[in-house]
Amino acid sequence: MAYPEGLLSENEQVIVHSHPHFKMLIWPVFWLIVTVGAGAWLLTLVGGVTAGWGQVAEIAIGVVGIVLICWLFLAPLIRWRTTHFIVTTDRLITREGVFKRVGIDIPMSRINSVQFEHGLVDRIFGCGTLVVESASHEPLRFDDIPRVERVHTVIYREVNDNPYDDFSGEDARRSRGRS
Cα dihedral 16, 154, 107, 13 sign: negative
Per-residue pLDDT band for 38 (boundaries 50, 70, 90) equals very high
CA 105 from chain centre, in angstroms, equals 16
Note the CATH number of domain 85-175.
Answer: 2.30.29
Question: Residue 127 above 90 pLDDT?
Answer: yes
Whole-angstrom Cα distance, residue 85 to residue 93?
Answer: 6
Helix (H, G, I), strand (E, B), or coil: what is residue 85? strand
pLDDT given at position 146: 95
| Secondary structure string (H, E, C) spanning 92-145 | EEEEECCCCCEEEEEEHHHEEEEEEECCHHHHHHCEEEEEEEECCCCCEEEEEE
pTM for the full model?
A: 0.75
Q: What is the pLDDT of residues 44-87, one digit of tens each?
A: 888 766 667 778 888 999 999 999 999 999 999 999 999 999 99
Question: In the chain, what percentage of residues exceed pLDDT 90?
Answer: 53
Tell me, what's the pLDDT at 137? 66
Enumerate the domain spans of the chain.
Answer: 25-79, 85-175
pLDDT in tens, 132-176: 998 776 889 999 999 999 999 999 988 887 444 444 444 444 444
Nearest-CA neighbor of 16 among 92, 104, 127?
92
- The single-letter DSSP state of residue 7 is G
